[in-house]
Amino acid sequence: MPREAVLARTFVELADNLVDDFDVVELLTLLADRCVEALDVAAAGLMLAGPDGALRVMASSSEAMRVLELFELQAQEGPCLDCYRTGEPVLSHDLTAGAGRWPRFAPEALQAGFRSVQALPMRLRGTVIGALNLFHDDEGPIEAADVELAQAFADVATIAILQHRAGLEAQLVNEQLQHALQSRIVIEQAKGMVAERTGLDMEQSFAMLRAHARNHNLRLADVADGVIGGAVAVSALDPPPS
């Protein structure tokens, strides 16, 4: 398939993947495979930073690539790690000369059949979330056009993942807000029930619910829900503090 057709298909597939419940691993696996198909590289892989800031292997175009990336993380040295730490592209046109820079990683990469590497940052406005590794089975610089396309792939993935994270955070905030509103309604209903059955005013009824929750190490909303559902008798509530 001509390169232009591969690129067009890639971006169409990316658009198809960018739905509300898209899978990050599936997206990155697609990008790794398309880097190999569309660019002059032998293997590609992507690492993402977890919540603790540590990189994790998320996608690899081959098993040899996956094993090498795992070794890179274990050895704590290599192009992907350097790229993530600095936020800048990392190049090695000849891994046989890279032993000084990566004394453990370079021999492993050579043994796996790779001779040169380029790592590109997954970065947006100063936020670096991972890196894209591109390996070649021959020495020499990577074509500038291939670098630009690979960075475009990495940028698309970065934007998609950050938007996905923002959506999840917004959803979490909305769910927390909805839960808080629902809890408030339950508490108001319980206050009314306590006031009706005890003759106390609403402020005293709320103090009674709150005192019971504190004295028994319970959530106020759970005590209120118990009162409404009958699991907690109003007569069994602790009296409010005097």
pLDDT given at position 163: 74
In this prediction, residues 115-141 reach a mean pLDDT of: 89
pLDDT digits (tens, 9 = 90+) for 94-127: 998 766 789 999 999 999 999 999 999 998 887 8
Closest CA to 55 of 29, 26, 81: 81
C-alpha span between 170 and 173 (Å, rounded): 5
Residue 223, token pair as written in the block: 């005590």
For the whole model, what pTM was predicted?
A: 0.66
Q: What residue spans of the chain are helical by DSSP H?
A: 3-17, 24-38, 63-75, 79-86, 105-111, 144-198, 202-215, 220-229
pLDDT category of residue 86 using cuts at 50, 70 and 90: very high
pLDDT given at position 135: 94
Q: What residue spans of 124-143 are helical by DSSP H?
A: none
In this prediction, residues 143-167 reach a mean pLDDT of: 79
